[in-house]
Structure 1
Amino acid sequence: MMDRSSAASVDPASAPSPHDAKIDAKIDARTDAKGLQEALYEQMFANDEPGPAPDAKTEPASQRRWPHLRRGAKIAIGLALIAIFGWLPLRAVWEYSSVEAVLNSRLVTLRTPIGGRVAAAQRLTDQARLDAGTVVLRVVNPRGDRTRLDDLRRQKSRLENERPSLAAKLASAQAAQKDLARQATQFRDGRVLQLEARIAEIQTSIEAAAARREEASAAVDRASSLAKSGNVSTVELARLTRELSVSQQIELGARKRLDAAMVELAAARNGSFLGDSYNDRPSSVQREEEMRQRAGDLDADLARIDTEIAWLASEIITEEVRFADLSEANITTPVAGRVWEMMTSPGEDVQAGQPLLKVLDCSSAVITANVTENVYNRLQLGDHATFEPNDGGAPISGTVVNLTGAAGAPANLAINPDALSKEPYRVTVALGDGAAHACTVGRTGRVVFARQETAP
């Protein structure tokens, strides 16, 4: 009883009339611009149907003018709506514009150069902005191969241990060589003095022999004169003559010994020693030469060891750098941008070449758009274009840089061009001030291309 009474007490004027419900249903069913115009037209002229005429005598003049004003306002509103919804399709027909467009940018995929475990270099959040050269991740490989580095270090240690003993041997050989050289010098000086004394002795012998020769010659001359007178016998003359001959040969032999002594002196001064009981050089000189050769060999070995140590030191430095590169790698961003996708997490084991994260390149913004076939056939590379964002932002100028048509577009973009599926013909527009808009990837809008008159 209460429900019926409350239902009966409801004001009939507040309930929707069948005529209004019919109009709402038509408006809901017609979602396009033409259907909306028809529904508005029906709603504006629904009250203009003829009905029972009121009493003209009792109706005031102001009430007679009100329906005309209301009808005029409805007509003006309808004409405005028709102009607005009719201008948009007309502008789309006259302008070379895209069907869909989105602000896009290149992606830089950072990969690990080595295998190991990922460690966070700094706290990163999604969409975090990064400067160029920022270390974002670190890959550590505790099981790096250091066999060659250890071998090089062992070889260097062995050579460094051998070097002191070799240097001591070289110093000893050089000292012995100096001592033997001193002995050889003393021997040569003594030999020269000895030969000079012998030459002086021979010269004295020559002088004595010459005196005896002269005496014998005088005796022979006297005996020859006496022999003619018979005072000296023939035998005495023959003896004196023999003594003269002997004295002459003695003088000649002394002069030959002097020549030989002069030859030995000249050789001794030049470092060669002539004699019957030894070779051209004495044993001290020969030992000095042997020690000099040994010292030279030891010096060469020492120089070789020093060269090998220096080479091993440089190789160790190179190997340490290589081992450090294989043991730990810093993942840095080559460009300024922001993190687009994290493909790993700290503590995860990764392999060499595995992608770790993707960075949005904030300096290479492009517009990815799709157009109709008619517009696509009129476009050329280098045409001017303007991107008009749907959020009412300022237009962005650009240039057409790629016309891929129905072919597959480049895949290193943040938003895959295949996501624009209303038309298959795709166009890429490079922004003139891409650095200022690169990190606003995802803004939608439309691209208006500059009209160019085609030659007849």
Structure 2
Amino acid sequence: MKYGRLIIGILTVSAALWIIVGEQTAGASADAVVNAPVVTIRAPVAGNLKMAGRQFGSRVSRGEVLASIEDPLVDRVRLNDLLLEERLEAAAQAQIATLLSDMQAVRAKLAERTGVDRERRLEELREQLAHAEARLAILEADGTAAEPEDQQLLDAVAHDVDRLPGEPRLEALVLDHARERVEILRIALQAAEANVFLREGHNVEQRLLDLDQQIAVLKSRHREAQERKAAVRERADRERIRVNNLTGGELQSTVEGLFWEVLEADGVNVQRGDPLLRLVDCQATLVTVSVTERVYNGLTVGQPATFRLGGTSDVHDATVARLAGAGAATVYGNMAVAPSQRHLERYDVALIVPALRQAGTESCLIGRTGRAFFDIRPLDGLRNLFR
């Protein structure tokens, strides 16, 4: 029993010493700070700055309007000229469209009237041809010479408007004239059935062809006017974009984060490229730590680690993302939290902690401190049990 107590005591002391030495000699950081890159919003153009009042540290969302710039002296002469040219092209297009519509209406009415006139003309020619053939049949059936008392009958059936003065009225001539009349009417009827009217004033097909040609020309001019208008509008849109860019406009947040610093006051005139605001990008949160040379030389990029915020028992998985070494002041030029002099005297390491990035802007813990661990410690199993 006496030796049993001694053995238990020795084992207890050995375990305690093992835990103490293991915890103290495990690779750990001297300090660790939750950090994030700072995004600087610069003036895209020169102009007057308008900025609403906002508290430092307030949350900002991607796309949120932070300020605006307006340049009242931007040159708009070229844009105004292009807009005038666009309106002139639109007026020319409208004029051509009106002429085209009117000519198409005239053509439709003329085609309608032509159809009616053709039917009536065909009826007229058919009727004239029928009577002319009847008169010819009568003359051919009566072979005797015309007596003076038949002069009135001959005058009724013979259309001799082309007879020479003093030309004798003979039966043969009357018969020949009647045959000629029948042939002329047949030719005129055949031509009319083919939409060719030989009588003066009835050949409207040529007029319709002329109108079709003019309509085709107007359609071509209308398409050309549309292309010209579209080309001028495209040039005007490009010029409008250029003028708008020179005029200024709203400045939007490019990150999800915190309102960190104001570099220019509301109402001042700024120049293109001047820094105006600084925002902290909470979605790019990382942890910057400093370690001893012994611990630093045992680290590699991509190596797993753990991080615990000060004042809490939560331990988060992490990954070594950067080994900047000693005197790493230059890598903090665009970081929210600058390193202390003591930090720069040691070796700088940056960790990515996914849990901090996924927390969003509501849990953007910039500036909070803690400790990072790179080796397995004797009490890690117990810590994992009580997580």
TM-score tier (shorter): 0.5 to 0.7
**CA positional deviation for 1:111:** 2.5
Provide Cα deviations, 1:183-231, integer angstroms capped at 9, x if missing partner: 6556645643443244224422442354246x99xxxxxxxxxxxxxxx
Please give the TM-score of this superposition, normalised by the length of structure 1. 0.57
8 Å CA contact 1:100–1:422 kept in 2: the answer is no
Select between 96-105 and 198-207 the one with higher mean Cα deviation: 198-207
Alignment-mate amino acid for residue 192 of structure 1:
L
- Equivalent residue, structure 1, for 2:280: 360
8 Å CA contact 2:305–2:372 kept in 1: the answer is no
Provide Cα deviations, 1:421-451, integer angstroms capped at 9, x if missing partner: 2223x32122243137964433444322233
**CA positional deviation for 1:302:** 5.3
5+ residue gaps, structure 1: 1-85, 217-245
- Equivalent residue, structure 2, for 1:221: none
Match of 2:316 among 394, 397, 410: 397
**CA positional deviation for 1:372:** 2.9
- Equivalent residue, structure 2, for 1:406: 325
Measured in 1, the distance between the counterparts of 2:98 and 2:349 equals 81
Measured in 1, the distance between the counterparts of 2:373 and 2:94 equals 83
Measured in 2, the distance between the counterparts of 1:151 and 1:374 equals 72
Select between 133-142 and 190-199 the one with higher mean Cα deviation: 190-199
Match of 1:450 among 357, 375, 382: 375
CA distance 1:183–1:378, shift in 2 (3 Å): closer
Please give the TM-score of this superposition, normalised by the length of structure 2. 0.65
Pairing 1:427–2:349 present = yes
CA distance 1:378–1:307, shift in 2 (3 Å): same
After superposition, where does 1:238-277 map in structure 2 within 5 Å?
A: 258=182, 261-274=185-198
User: Percent same amino acid among aligned pairs?
Assistant: 26
Match of 1:341 among 261, 265, 268: 261
Count of residues in correspondence between the two structures: 329
- Equivalent residue, structure 1, for 2:79: 149
8 Å CA contact 2:317–2:353 kept in 1: the answer is yes
**CA positional deviation for 1:265:** 0.7
- Equivalent residue, structure 2, for 1:200: 130
- Equivalent residue, structure 2, for 1:114: 45
- Give the 3-state SS of the residue equivalent to 2:282 in structure 1: strand
**CA positional deviation for 1:410:** 6.9
Pairing 1:95–2:26 present = yes
Measured in 1, the distance between the counterparts of 2:115 and 2:60 equals 81
CA distance 1:200–1:343, shift in 2 (3 Å): same
8 Å CA contact 1:180–1:285 kept in 2: the answer is no
Alignment-mate amino acid for residue 43 of structure 2:
T
Measured in 1, the distance between the counterparts of 2:58 and 2:100 equals 67
Return the index of the structure with the highest Cα Rg.
1
CA distance 1:129–1:174, shift in 2 (3 Å): closer
- Give the 3-state SS of the residue equivalent to 2:295 in structure 1: helix
Alignment-mate amino acid for residue 207 of structure 1:
A
Alignment-mate amino acid for residue 367 of structure 2:
G
CA distance 1:91–1:175, shift in 2 (3 Å): closer
Measured in 2, the distance between the counterparts of 1:125 and 1:87 equals 51
8 Å CA contact 2:305–2:320 kept in 1: the answer is no
Provide Cα deviations, 1:89-122, integer angstroms capped at 9, x if missing partner: 95675211123432212222222333322111x2
- Give the 3-state SS of the residue equivalent to 1:199 in structure 2: helix
Measured in 1, the distance between the counterparts of 2:340 and 2:181 equals 119
8 Å CA contact 1:101–1:367 kept in 2: the answer is yes
8 Å CA contact 1:398–1:429 kept in 2: the answer is no
Provide Cα deviations, 1:334-357, integer angstroms capped at 9, x if missing partner: 333323232222233333343322
Pairing 1:384–2:305 present = yes
- Give the 3-state SS of the residue equivalent to 2:276 in structure 1: strand
Question: Which structure ranks higher in relative contact order (CA pairs < 8 Å, sequence separation ≥ 6)?
Answer: 2
